[in-house]
């Protein structure tokens, strides 16, 4: 059981002796093997939520727990995919993927098989000995996802992972992520700016208010996806063409626009 | 410009300089060869030091003596300097502990250590190694420290997320991340080592290229002075080239 539970989480930044609240009380439970996306205006603290689940930042009050244990430090059971990839430039593709397993102390033979498998799944065959700077952005992000997935983490934390990619690569990566999630479902917390992406990928979409961030609404996508049989469609554009998809997307857009309007006044 | 062209131009410049040197010392004697030697004088000095020896030893012995001193001082300084730089860059506590001492020592010119080195260790090799160490140590520490501090925070976060700790973190994350800066430091250290060596040997030594220069100055022997200078340059250049080769081998991800 590897759920994520935010309980009464607030976060206050201190700067020049003044206090800036960035998160105003988040209560959210991501179930085991559920895919939850968070969308919200810039600076609403959605990335802070993810970083707190990762153990890279900590709440001012409240708790974040993964699998029932309060998060106190970063660890391989909570794998992060960063927006800017954060690959090790001095390690080959293979060694980047291998590093986390090596740190866990896994024996060599088992590591080899798992790395080969994930390289196959992510379409990285032939690039094993390449260095990150020799790869395109899309390929680098594949490596970063492979590096996280190979650890078979309890939860996968993805911080705008496709934000730095061009539109076409982004679409391909979104489809691959869905494929990967079908083969090997994980608990996923996914931060994004893109409403389309959130609706396409997630079981539930959390819409946040502007700073200090709070939850405006949680939109259930999974029940619509099941009822409308979105998985009949292989391609992302066909899913996005469904009336039910457009309806959900518009609903989330309106919630976000409402935040924008508040911002303008 | 094509690389072949610039190499050809380089060779042409050197040949031209040598020709002008021969011309104005020998054919049209505008330069007083008692102050600046003619090519033939340098050749004679080179033959003398290689065959009969000069300043109590033959050339190879002077070269070996100086090189061993430089390598000893340089290697010790790099080991200690890189280790300290990594510690100071990574740990605030190590920085708080070491930085004041380092800031105090840093503005002292390496050559100012010579008298103390002689008092502590006498006129032998150990004193010279100490002075070289003092000169080479500073750039190694500073550049390693800078390299660690210039690390991207996301790389540090990624490595802690993956569970990298202790020696593995140092070996596989910290050192490679700082490597480009570390090598800059090592190059500066090597230069400083040779500069300091010559000065340290000028104070007094049995053998060594500095001792050759010292003797030649006392003998007013311009040809030999030039031989000494050229070999200091050759040795320094050779070691820098070797270091450059090591650098390329050590950081394959930086190539192309």
pLDDT at position A91: 96
The residue written with tokens 């510690």 in the block is B87
pLDDT band at A262 (very low <50, low <70, confident <90, very high): low
Contacts of B160 in chain A (CB under 8 A): 73-74
Disruptive mutation site among B151, B153, B156, B158 for chain A (greatest number of A CBs within 10 Å): B158
pLDDT in tens, B98-153: 989 888 988 899 889 999 998 999 888 999 999 999 999 999 999 999 999 999 99
pLDDT at position A232: 86
pLDDT in tens, B39-90: 889 999 999 999 999 988 999 999 999 999 999 999 999 999 999 999 999 9
pLDDT band at A180 (very low <50, low <70, confident <90, very high): confident
Of the listed ranges A132-141, A253-262, B145-154, B173-182, the least confidently predicted one is A253-262
**Is A115 within 8 Å of A97 (Cβ atoms)?**
yes
Contacts of A90 in chain B (CB under 8 A): 176-177, 179, 251, 253
- The answer to whether A103 contacts chain B (CB < 8 Å) is yes
- Residue A263's φ and ψ, nearest 5 degrees, are -65, -40
Domain ranges of chain A: 4-72+192-264
The residue written with tokens 């002292």 in the block is B108
Span A90-116, average pLDDT: 93
pLDDT at position B144: 96
pLDDT at position A1: 62
pLDDT in tens, A109-118: 889 999 999 8
Span A50-57, average pLDDT: 95
Q: Given a cut of 90, is residue A231 above it in pLDDT?
A: no
Q: What angle do CA A90, A133, B4 make, to 5 degrees?
A: 95
* Helix axis angle, B175-203 to B125-149, nearest 10°: 150
pLDDT band at A132 (very low <50, low <70, confident <90, very high): very high
Q: Given a cut of 80, is residue A261 above it in pLDDT?
A: no
- Do B253 and A90 make contact, defined as CB atoms within 8 angstroms? yes
- The answer to whether A99 contacts chain B (CB < 8 Å) is yes
pLDDT band at B2 (very low <50, low <70, confident <90, very high): low
The Cα of B207 is separated from the nearest Cα of chain A by a number of Å equal to: 44
- The answer to whether A151 contacts chain B (CB < 8 Å) is yes
SS3 track for A80-142: EECCCCCCCCCCCHHHHHHHHHHHHCCCHHHHHHHHHHHHHHCCCCCCCCCCHHHCCHHHHHH
**Is A33 within 8 Å of A185 (Cβ atoms)?**
yes
* Helix axis angle, B175-203 to B222-250, nearest 10°: 170
- Do B162 and A86 make contact, defined as CB atoms within 8 angstroms? no
pLDDT band at A29 (very low <50, low <70, confident <90, very high): very high
pLDDT at position B90: 93
Token pair recorded at residue A167: 């539109």
Sheet with A187-191, side-by-side order of all strands: A78-81, A155-159, A187-191, A35-39, A204-208, A215-220
pLDDT in tens, A1-18: 689 999 999 999 888 888
In chain B, what percentage of residues exceed pLDDT 70?
98
Q: Given a cut of 70, is residue A168 above it in pLDDT?
A: yes
A79 forms beta bridges with A156
pLDDT at position A182: 77
In angstroms, the CA A48 to CA A34 distance is 20
- Do A76 and B162 make contact, defined as CB atoms within 8 angstroms? yes
The number of CA neighbours under 13 Å toward the Cβ of A50 is 26
Instruction: Give the residue from B109, B127, B108 showing the smallest Cα distance to B117.
Output: B127
Span A138-151, average pLDDT: 92
In Å, what is the CA distance from A106 to each residue of A28, A92, A150?
Answer: 34, 19, 12
In angstroms, the CA A202 to CA B252 distance is 41
B residues 97-156 lying closer than 8 A (beta carbon) to A? 152, 154-155
In angstroms, the CA A137 to CA A127 distance is 14
Instruction: Give the residue from A134, A156, A138, A135 showing the smallest Cα distance to A147.
Output: A156
In Å, what is the CA distance from B131 to each residue of B75, B152, B203, B206?
Answer: 13, 36, 12, 17
Q: Dmax over Cα atoms in chain A, in whole Å?
A: 61
pLDDT at position B32: 82
Q: What is the ipTM of this complex?
A: 0.89
In angstroms, the CA B151 to CA B181 distance is 11
In chain A, what percentage of residues exceed pLDDT 90?
63
Q: Given a cut of 60, is residue A265 above it in pLDDT?
A: no
Alpha helices in chain A (DSSP H): 46-54, 93-104, 108-121, 137-149, 167-183, 195-201, 222-227, 236-240, 243-264
The residue written with tokens 């079981």 in the block is A203
Higher pLDDT, B29 or A89: A89
The residue written with tokens 């554009």 in the block is A237
Nearest beta carbon to residue A103 from set B152, B155, B163: B163
**Is B182 within 8 Å of B251 (Cβ atoms)?**
no
Handedness of CA A51, A52, A54, A57 (dihedral sign): positive
In chain B, what percentage of residues exceed pLDDT 90?
70
Q: Given a cut of 60, is residue A108 above it in pLDDT?
A: yes
Which H/E stretch holds residue A29? Answer: strand A18-30
**Domain A4-72+192-264 belongs to what topology?**
Rossmann fold (3.40.50)
A33-72 burial, b at 16+ Cβ within 10 Å, e below that, comes to ebbbbbbbbeebbbbbbbbbbbbbeebeebebebbeeebe
In angstroms, the CA B110 to CA B121 distance is 16
Contacts of B251 in chain A (CB under 8 A): 90
User: Can you list the pairs that B35-43 forms with residues at least 24 positions away whose Cβ atoms lie under 8 Å?
Assistant: B35/B222, B36/B222, B37/B222, B37/B223, B37/B225, B37/B226, B41/B222, B41/B223, B42/B223, B42/B226, B42/B227, B42/B230
Give the distance, in angstroms, between the CA of residue B55 and the centroid of all CA atoms in the same chain: 23
A54: nearest CA partner in chain B? B161
């Amino acid at each position: 059981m590897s759920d994520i539970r935010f309980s009464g989480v607030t976060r206050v930044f201190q700067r020049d002796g003044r206090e800036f609240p960035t998160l105003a009380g988040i209560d959210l439970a991501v179930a085991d093997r559920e895919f939850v996306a968070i969308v919200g205006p810039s600076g609403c603290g959605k990335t802070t939520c993810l970083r707190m689940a990762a153990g890279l930042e900590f709440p001012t009050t409240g708790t974040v727990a993964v699998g029932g244990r309060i998060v106190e430090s970063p660890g391989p059971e909570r794998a992060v995919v960063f927006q800017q990839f954060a690959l090790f430039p001095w390690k080959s593709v293979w060694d980047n993927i291998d590093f986390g397993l090596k740190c866990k102390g896994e024996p060599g033979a088992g590591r080899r098989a798992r790395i080969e498998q994930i390289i196959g799944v992510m379409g990285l065959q032939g690039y094993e000995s390449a260095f990150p700077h020799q790869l395109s952005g899309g390929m680098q992000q594949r490596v970063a996802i492979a590096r996280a997935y190979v650890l078979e983490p309890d939860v996968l934390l993805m911080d705008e992972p496709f934000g730095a990619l061009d539109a076409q690569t982004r679409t391909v990566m979104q489809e691959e992520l869905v494929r990967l999630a079908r083969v090997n479902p994980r608990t996923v917390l996914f931060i994004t700016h893109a409403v389309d992406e959130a609706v396409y990928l997630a079981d539930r979409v959390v819409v946040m208010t502007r700073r200090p961030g709070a939850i405006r609404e949680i939109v259930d996508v999974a029940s619509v996806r099941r009822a409308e049989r979105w998985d009949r469609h292989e391609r992302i554009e066909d899913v996005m063409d469904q009336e039910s998809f457009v309806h959900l997307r518009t609903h989330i857009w309106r919630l976000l626009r409402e935040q924008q309007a508040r911002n303008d006044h | 410009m094509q690389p072949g062209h610039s190499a050809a131009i380089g060779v042409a410049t050197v040949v031209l300089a040598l020709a002008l040197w021969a011309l104005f010392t020998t054919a049209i004697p505008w330069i007083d060869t008692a102050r600046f030697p003619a090519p033939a004088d340098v050749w004679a000095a080179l033959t003398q030091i290689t065959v009969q020896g000069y300043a109590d030893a033959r050339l190879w012995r002077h070269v070996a003596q100086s090189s061993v001193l430089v390598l000893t001082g340089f290697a010790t300084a790099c080991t200690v300097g890189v280790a300290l730089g990594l510690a100071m860059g990574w740990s605030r506590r190590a920085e708080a502990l070491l930085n004041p001492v380092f800031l105090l020592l840093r503005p002292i010119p390496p050559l100012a250590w010579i008298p103390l080195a002689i008092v502590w260790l006498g006129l032998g090799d150990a004193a010279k190694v100490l002075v070289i160490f003092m000169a080479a140590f500073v750039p190694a520490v500073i550049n390693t420290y800078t390299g660690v501090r210039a690390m991207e925070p996301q790389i540090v976060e990624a490595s802690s997320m993956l569970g990298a700790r202790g020696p593995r973190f140092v070996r596989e994350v910290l050192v490679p991340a700082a490597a480009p800066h570390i090598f800059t430091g090592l190059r500066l250290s090597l230069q400083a080592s040779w500069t300091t060596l010559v000065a340290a040997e000028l104070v007094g030594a049995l053998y060594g290229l500095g001792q050759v220069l010292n003797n030649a100055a006392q003998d007013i022997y311009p040809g030999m002075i030039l031989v000494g200078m050229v070999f200091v340059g050759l040795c320094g250049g050779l070691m820098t080239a070797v270091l450059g080769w090591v650098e390329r081998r050590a950081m394959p991800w930086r190539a192309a």
